[in-house]
Chains A and B, each alone.
Chain A
Amino acid sequence: MSLSRLQTATDILKARTRAYEAQAYQAHRGMALGDGSEAQPLPLGASAVDHCLDGGLACGGLHEVRSPLARDIGAATGFALGLAARAIHTDRMGRSGIVWVSDPATRVDGGGLFPAGLAQYGLDPSSMTMVEPGDLQGAMWAADEAAGCAGLAALVFQIKGNPARFDITATRRLMLRARQSGVLALTLRQSGEEEASAAATRWRVNTKPSGADDTLERGVGAMRLLLTLERNRAGRTGQWLLAWNPRDRSFHHAAPHPASRTKPSAHPLDRLPASADRPGAPGQMGQVLDRRQDFGRAS
């Protein structure tokens, strides 16, 4: 074999390797791979968020929604159900089933989904299958099974706190199964701290005062959620104020409430929206302008 032919073979191999790497990278980001057989990203409907997510949430993948306080569970449930409703609404294969797996610890608070509220929120209550195993191990097994079921539109796995058993291995398993089946898998973590997980994104949901209503002076207006994208494996993070439109089944940007408008930061360059008001925010020492190299690393 002459040297030139060897060179050519090496080039071909290198090109192939590059192609594989690109493919793997694309798959990692949950993007569509040319043909339409792969899962399309799920746009939230709010332009800034979708732009940050490169078009939307990876549909076949695990995403975590957490609420820092127990009373935020309403807002977090609203966000998770909104994503599930969007997943059904935009699904091209006609999948409409949602499986809601809940850890028994979440029942201690005594709350459960209310079908009339679901219907007003834009979800068909009869599409929900509620799974309530007797222990966390059973719940994790059920979530694994549901994540691997290609006939589902979405899986919501509700847990409370940070149970040790639901560790990074368990989340990675969920992530892999969801990626294979194309199911939108969501972990809804009530009053939980940030922890390492294999989820593609992690969202913190806080509730915000609703906007003034023209017709009702003291009336409760449309809901507003302060969404913080705390972690994004494939891109930037950010913080947005969103509202949910049940009729269109989409999120949209909400104008900040006039009373809750915060004063602008003293340092205009000090932009770190993700960690802006969370407990572990960096102190005021110095300025961190870019920590982007941290975001790609699997922690």
Chain B
Amino acid sequence: MHRARWGKSWIAGRILDAHPETPPVVVTDTVKNAIRIVALDQRARARGIRPNQTLSDARALVPDLDCHPADDEASRALLVKIAGWCERYTPLVALDTAPEVARDHGLFMDITGCAHLLGGEAALIADLEARLRAQGFHVRLCLADTPGAAWAMARYGQARIIAGGAHAEAVLPLTLSGLRLPPEMVASLGRVGLKTIGCIAGLPRAPLAARFGARLMQRLDQALGREAEAISPIMPVAELSTERRFAEPVTHQDEISHVIAALAAGIIEPLERRGLGLRNCRLKLFRVDGHVSLLDVQTARPLRDARMISRLFAERIAGLHDDLDAGFGFDLIRLDVVHADPFEGGQTEMMAHHAAGQGHDALVDRLGARLGLDRVQRFVLADTHIPERSFGRQPVAHLGAPGSGARRSAAGNAALAFSPDPQAPCEIITRPLILFDRPELMQTIAEVPDGPPLRFRWRNVSYEVARSEGPERIACEWWRDGRGARTRDYFRVEDRQGYRFWMFRHGLYGRETSEPAWYMHGLFA
């Protein structure tokens, strides 16, 4: 992680491995009409600069201060990246962005049931801290039964691990700021002599709630474990997950493909046991330096074939615009099944569909994996007569396969499916094969008030109209386009050489406009 990537976010308290003679780094922001220091590195601290000091005072102390304005966006982006990396320990990683606390944001991790994978709680904490320190972060960690207690102890206490059930006693001596309260509330509680959590824990609740609001009681209960507090993970929790850890980081693409194949093979058996087929799965590659690469693969119908899965990932990797940057290698590769659907049909039915459906679906999955899901589309109808709005395109992966009895309308909106209409092909063709996304303005000589065009100029070529049919009037959608919308009169026109066009007059002559414009909208075969 480089400074360039994160902007000027030094709030996380990164230790600079810079030359000792480089100037101390501080981050400033406007607080109470003065530019004040909101974060600083250890060299600045060593030279007597304190947080909340005004910049002019700090400059008086240390003239060669390297100061940067605070960038909350960059800080948040950094925090999200760290959260993504922390998913190597548990899938439940949440951003702690309590509104009461202005800048002192952190992460919550729920490691219930995960600690034993790394050899216990102490080992997990030690591993987490060592790795983050190696990446250059200064971290404060605490493991406790409740998020509130861990929050308080990480910031205002010394303990790294609070034993199960002991969190209430542990947080009582801590300052009231540890309850994630607004600074004004802490200040006013301090004025009446209530300075630690223990002070208010023993007091009658009703007067406190009446005086300072229910929020105080809620935060106290959350810290002491009387009230449950849910954290909201930043990533959806996978239905199934399998991973490989490496003592020696892997860098070569061949090794990575091998690992993917092994992971995919390992995920088939649990899927079979649950009767599920994979619809969406995500590969997470944890690089040694803390970067996490995510590769998503979606399938058009539930899939349970390890070879197909690893092939889709091979296409996905091949479709990356820049190669998968392995850097110094990946030390953890994880395959998550983000979404799985019931696996329909038995083996025999599969074989029957092999010729018709299966090959087509597999093709769509491969194309989507390599080119991007939104580049493989199918038409959907919309309920309108305006030609360019009468259809849309939806990624096939969100629609389900054609011909499958249960067509999924996962999109949920006005995505009507086409019904094969036996009457649809007809002798008289009124709709063009090719429609322009935006109708193109042309210069036209036409009969007034509502006659067909006689001569027109489109894309710098003049055409003489030989035959024409129309008008076919399509009224505007006043509920959508508002009062000024105009009616369209569509004409089918053939010029002397035989080119067939679909064009319209925009606006009724005399009623809606005095000079109706003409637009080219489509080409017939």
Binding site for B on A (CB under 8 A): 71-75, 77-79, 81-82, 93-97, 99, 110-122, 124-134, 138, 141-142, 145-146, 149-152, 207-210, 216, 218-225, 244-247, 249
Contact = CB atoms under 8 A, between A and B. Distances in A.
- Chain A interface, >50% SS class: mixed
B432 A94 contact: no
Contacts, number: 212
B367 A131 contact: yes
Contacts of B366: 145
B435 A209 contact: no
B247 interface: no
Most B CB atoms within 10 A — which of A95, A138, A207?
Answer: A207
Contacts of B379: 115, 125-126, 128, 130
Nearest to B371: A133
B442 to A, nearest CB: 13
Interface in B495-525: 496-500, 522-525
A114 B364 contact: no
Contacts of A94: 355-356
A110 B175 CA distance: 66
B461 interface: yes
Task: Across the A-B interface, give the 10 residue pairs with the lowest CB-CB distance, nearest first.
Answer: A78-B525, A151-B359, A74-B523, A114-B435, A246-B425, A122-B425, A126-B418, A151-B360, A209-B498, A117-B431
A292 B366 CA distance: 43
A134 B522 CA distance: 24
A113 B523 CA distance: 10
A208 B319 CA distance: 43
B494 A126 contact: no
Contacts of A82: 525
A220 B376 CA distance: 35
A118 B437 CA distance: 16
Most B CB atoms within 10 A — which of A94, A126, A225?
Answer: A126
Interface in B62-94: none
Interface string B461-473: 1000011110000
Interface stretch (B99-107, B149-157, B192-200, B388-396): B388-396
A236 B158 CA distance: 91
B420 A246 contact: no
B212 interface: no
Given A119-B421, A120-B426, 6 more contacts: A74-B434, A113-B433, A115-B379, A115-B418, A145-B367, A209-B498
Contacts of A249: 425
Nearest to B496: A209
A112 B437 contact: yes
B500 A207 contact: yes
A210 B525 CA distance: 11
A225 B429 CA distance: 15
B525 A77 contact: yes
Nearest to A111: B434
A78 to B, nearest CB: 2
A222 B376 CA distance: 33
A130 B420 contact: no
B425 A74 contact: no
A133 B375 contact: yes
5 contacts: A74-B524, A77-B433, A97-B402, A152-B363, A219-B469
B525 A244 contact: yes
- Chain B interface, >50% SS class: mixed
Contacts of A118: 433
Given A74-B434, A117-B433, A150 B359 contact: yes
Contact of B493 (A71, A116, A134, A220): A220
A132 B427 contact: no
B15 to A, nearest CB: 41
Nearest to B465: A218
A113 B391 CA distance: 10
A110 B436 contact: yes
Contacts of B361: 151
Contacts of B433: 74, 77-78, 81, 113-114, 117-118, 121
B352 to A, nearest CB: 11
B320 to A, nearest CB: 12
A168 B433 CA distance: 30
B356 A121 contact: no
A125 B418 contact: yes
Contacts of A146: 363, 367
Given A121-B429, A134-B371, A151 B378 contact: no
A127 B378 CA distance: 8
B492 interface: yes
B378 A121 contact: no
A220 B496 CA distance: 11
B427 A247 contact: yes
Nearest to B438: A110
A118 B433 CA distance: 6
Contact of B522 (A114, A119, A138): A114
B346 interface: no
B313 to A, nearest CB: 16
A97 B300 CA distance: 15
Given A75-B525, A207-B498, A151 B371 contact: no
A193 to B, nearest CB: 20
B424 interface: yes
B434 A131 contact: no
Contacts of B402: 96-97, 126-127
B381 interface: yes
B378 A247 contact: no
B525 to A, nearest CB: 2
Nearest to B424: A119
Nearest to B401: A97
Given A115-B381, A210-B494, A223-B500, A129 B376 contact: yes
B355 A93 contact: yes
A97 B378 CA distance: 11
B229 interface: no
Contacts of B434: 73-74, 77, 111-114, 117
B498 A111 contact: no
A119 B425 contact: yes
A269 B23 CA distance: 94
B152 to A, nearest CB: 50
Interface string B350-384: 00000111111111101100111001111101000
Contacts of B367: 131, 142, 145-146
B440 A115 contact: no
B424 A120 contact: yes
B524 to A, nearest CB: 6
Contacts of A81: 433, 525
Contact of A74 (B376, B426, B467, B525): B525
B302 to A, nearest CB: 17
Contacts of B430: 120
B466 A209 contact: yes
Interface in B89-124: none
Interface in B412-428: 417-418, 420-421, 424-427
Nearest to B392: A115
Given A97-B360, A223-B525, A117 B371 contact: no
B387 interface: yes
Contacts of A220: 467-469, 492-494, 500
Given A117-B522, A208-B498, A132 B377 contact: yes
B215 to A, nearest CB: 50
A224 B432 contact: no
